């Protein structure tokens, strides 16, 4: 991926950092977008921009800035998102609105803002859906519905941009993060998906090696 520019949303979360580290190791220029910029313990990114991904104008301006500074945008990894567990009976409607804002809308806004630049480079979009959206369990309604929105957005954009930009999504199961270990202390994290492994799957879909793949929803479920 040397010479290419990879844009990552939600870039300062666990998966975002793993994807940035892997992309940089492959020689890519990395632009990290998040609601706020924090320090990295590893080598710093080429670009780090704070942006509200719910704001199309601000997100478009960020993409234009990246294009101006790096000369191109070759791939967009839509990692920004959130999670909530609550039942319909005991939960609130606001959580549903929050999940669609964090998961579905951010993917839509970033994709729309990046699309003109990705068309220019014949690039790729890789979204993060969820294996839990294929069949939602108890308490997973809001999260699963918002992630299914991401998955249908992926399929629709793949058709709309066919021959111009490839659009795929990964469907992870539980990701091995400090927060998930805290929330599920009795689970076995050895069977969960490692952030680095998921990052590698996303970068494969963003690479020229996956040039024949578009519209795919790829399960990445570890040993669960």
Return d(Cα 75, Cα 95) in angstroms, integer: 30
Confidence at residue 1, expressed as pLDDT on a 0 to 100 scale: 86
Q: CB–CB of 79/8 below 8 Å?
A: yes
Confidence at residue 14, expressed as pLDDT on a 0 to 100 scale: 96
Boundaries of every domain in the chain: 5-220
In the block, tokens 């799957």 appear at 201
Q: What is the pLDDT of residues 19-54, one digit of tens each?
A: 999 999 999 999 999 999 876 544 445 799 999 999
Asked about 62 being catalytic, the answer comes back as no
Q: What is the pLDDT of residues 161-177, one digit of tens each?
A: 999 999 999 999 999 99
Question: Which one of 143, 165, 214, 220 is the catalytic residue?
Answer: 143
State CA 205 to chain mean position distance: 12
- Angle made by CA atoms 39, 9, 35, in degrees to the nearest 5: 60
Torsion of CA 38, 58, 195, 41, to 10 degrees: -20
Angle at which helix 14-25 crosses helix 195-206, to 10 degrees, equals 50
Architecture of the domain delimited by 5-220: 3-Layer(aba) Sandwich (3.40)
Segments of the chain scoring below 50 in pLDDT = 41-44
In DSSP notation, 71-116 reads S---EEEE---------TTTS-HHHHHHHIIIIIIHHHHHHHHHHH
């Amino acid at each position: 991926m040397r010479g290419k520019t990879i844009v990552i949303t939600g870039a300062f979360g666990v998966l975002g950092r793993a994807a940035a580290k892997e992309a940089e190791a492959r020689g890519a220029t990395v632009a990290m977008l998040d609601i706020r910029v924090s320090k990295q313990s590893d080598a710093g990114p080429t670009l780090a921009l704070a942006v509200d991904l719910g704001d199309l104008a601000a997100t478009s301006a960020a993409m234009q800035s990246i294009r101006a500074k790096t000369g191109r945008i070759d791939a967009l990894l839509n990692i920004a998102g959130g999670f909530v567990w609550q039942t319909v009976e005991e939960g609130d409607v606001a959580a549903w609105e929050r999940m669609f804002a964090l998961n579905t809308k951010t993917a839509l806004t970033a994709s729309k803002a990046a699309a003109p630049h990705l068309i220019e480079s014949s690039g790729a979009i890789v979204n993060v859906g969820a294996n839990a959206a294929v069949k939602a369990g108890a308490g997973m309604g809001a999260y699963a519905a918002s992630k299914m929105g991401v998955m249908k957005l992926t399929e629709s954009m793949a058709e709309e941009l066919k021959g111009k930009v490839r659009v795929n999504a990964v469907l992870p199961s539980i990701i091995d993060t400090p927060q998930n270990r805290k929330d599920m202390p009795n689970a076995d994290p050895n069977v969960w998906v490692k952030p680095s492994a998921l990052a590698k799957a996303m970068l494969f879909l963003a690479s020229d090696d996956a040039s024949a793949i578009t519209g795919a929803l790829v399960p990445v479920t570890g040993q669960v």
